[in-house]
Amino acid sequence: MCYNYPMTQMSHKKLVVGNWKMNPATLAEAKKLSRKFKRATPVLANTEVVICPPLPFITACSSRKKISHFHMGAQTASTQEEGGPHTGEVGAHMLRDIGVEYVIVGHSEQRKSEWHKAQSEGDANETVAARLKAVLGQGLTPILCIGESVRDESGAYLGFLKDQIKASCGDILKKSAKSIIVAYEPIWAIGAAEAMKPEDVYETSLFIKKVFADLYGADMGLKVTVLYGGSVTYRNAPDIITIGKVDGLLVGRESVNIPGFIELMKEVDRVSI
């Protein structure tokens, strides 16, 4: 399958995002992880690193002074754009105030929970769209997750991805959409023995860029940042970047493995895109 969409080789930094999920178990362990990663990022030349700890650990993992190539992220934010009677919710404005710069929006694990609550994929996408709007409204950078549960040979999954993007971004104006990062994370590849083939990653990244071009114009299709996530390790990271031609990686389980994640940073920094 091929898309007649022009690709321009652009020179820009790569992005590695570590999604810690509900790990580690203690504050002491979280501090140790962040301390090790903070020491590793200043030597990077062409890579920015974002860590997304669980909410209770974000402040402890932050740094009082700016560290080269190191950024704080959050795993989600409320759909509510303002404070109020929203028990259990954490607003994007609160995250910004504690030093968060990036927010994961619509991760498949959260989409699954929201789908059960909403009882429809369409309603779940509306929730993701509200989160995206709230994050953008606070000047934070959203990492919009998309991904299919089954990669069928007929190519129906492409329509699914297109619908996810359009439903999430449909009300977002172009000037705001420029800040959106798309993380393609096929659900079937999460926690799998192997990552998706880099050639297939490339094909899908082209498709994502085409969808953004259709929504916002050809220039946006070229500029949108696309990450890949799903069973990423330091071993397969270089091929995913170079052959898959993505702008970076969304890393799950390896992001709480100190030696593995540090080596992954270095491997990504060595390759050019």
Catalytic residues: 107, 185
3-class DSSP state for residue 12?
A: coil
| Residue 245 DSSP label | -
What is the rounded CA–CA span in Å between residue 178 and residue 184? 17
| Residue 106 DSSP label | S
Sequence-ordered strand ranges (E) for the chain: 14-19, 47-52, 70-74, 102-105, 141-146, 181-184, 225-229, 248-251
What is the rounded CA–CA span in Å between residue 92 and residue 86? 13
Burial class of residue 127, CB neighbours in 10 A (0-12, 13-18, 19+) = buried
Tokens of 129: 């769209």
Write out the H or E segment, with its range, that includes residue 209. Answer: helix 198-216
What is the rounded CA–CA span in Å between residue 146 and residue 158? 11
What is the rounded CA–CA span in Å between residue 62 and residue 40? 15
Which one-letter amino acid corresponds to residue 238?
P
Tokens of 193: 């023995």
